[in-house]
Amino acid sequence: MKTIHARSLAHSVIDWLATARHPRVLHVFDDACNLIDENRDVISIVNPRIGNGPFSCVIDPELFFPEYMDAQTPISVQSNHIQLGDLLISTDHATRWNPRPNWERLHANKENISNLSVHFPARSLPVGLSIHHSLFPIHLIPTLSSSLTHADLPTAKQTTSKLAGLGPGLTPSGDDILMGAMYAVWIIHPPEVASVLGSEVAETASALTTSLSAAWLRSAGRGEAGHLWHQLFDAMLTGENIQSKINNILAVGHTSGADALTGFMGVLTCWVESMNKETAVL
């Protein structure tokens, strides 16, 4: 039996360990593995190079996961550990990581943040190949952005149902766009509005996509994000090192980071345009 320790974990991992009764291995990658329980709730066990996420447990030292597990590896969980075959991961001394950015501060600075959009205009983002494909309904992106900007929930849900699950991969392009758009919703709207929009969009989409993508969408709907987005939000508040933080997100997956930034910027840009129109009328 090999024993290692968790360095940090999100609160959702603690909840998962307390409630999962029949977990199984969902995916195994070189630097991470995903586990899923009978309620379709997912946690990710990841190496430090991947870092904290809304449902992640970061271990130390790092592992090459395929050496220790596969899709058939039996799992046993307790409140303070996870046993994966002959691998025991102790969570006793793990730091609790808060996946929720300071949305209140971000919302209070939404004008300044939106003015920084010149640093990453949506048209310059190298969006995913599936978005460029002639069959991808790219016209839905401005419709989604407008509906979320104006808190038009029926249109937002209708558009979400058409985008969810579109594209290849474990997190399809349509879902990545939705996730990024929800992050912008938490900036432009007060928490009580963002919470309703986020939860409704997430629930609509999660039933139409992969288990892993659904976990990311539900987290975004609750206002939770991975550490790279935290770093971008912090940079947007200070106005420093924004491009380097954008580049870090662009490097995520084949197109996932770029697609999420497309959704994020779509909503921010729409909000700025809406505010400019109101100012012109006044």
Which residues contact residue 11 at a Cβ distance below 8 angstroms, ignoring those fewer than 6 apart? 96, 98, 99
Tens digits of per-residue pLDDT, 214-252? 999 999 999 999 999 999 999 999 988 998 999 999 999
Q: pLDDT category, 131, cuts 50, 70, 90?
A: low
Mean pLDDT of 26-30: 96
SS3 state of residue 237: helix
Helix axes 173-188, 211-221, angle to 10 degrees: 10
Question: Residue 195: its pLDDT value, please?
Answer: 97
| Single-letter amino acid, residue 114 | S
d(CA 59, CA 62): 6
Give the domain ranges of the chain. Answer: 2-97, 103-281
Cα–Cα distance for residue pair 97/273, rounded to 1 Å: 36
Task: Dump pLDDT digits (tens) for 146-182.
Answer: 999 999 999 999 999 999 999 888 899 999 999 999 9
Global pTM exceeds 0.85: yes
Is the pLDDT at 2 greater than 50? The verdict is yes
Lookup: tokens for 94: 């793990």
The pLDDT tens digits for 39-77 are 999 999 999 999 999 999 999 999 999 999 999 999 999
Helices (H) and strands (E) in the chain, counts: 12, 9
Show the DSSP H helices in the chain as ranges.
11-19, 103-108, 110-115, 129-132, 140-149, 153-163, 173-188, 191-206, 211-221, 227-238, 242-250, 256-281
Percent helix, strand, coil in the chain, to 5, is: 50, 15, 35
pLDDT classification of 117: cutoffs 50, 70, 90? low
Assess whether pLDDT exceeds 60 at residue 118. Answer: no
Distance CA 271, CA 252 (A): 26
Confidence band for 129, pLDDT divided at 50, 70 and 90: very low
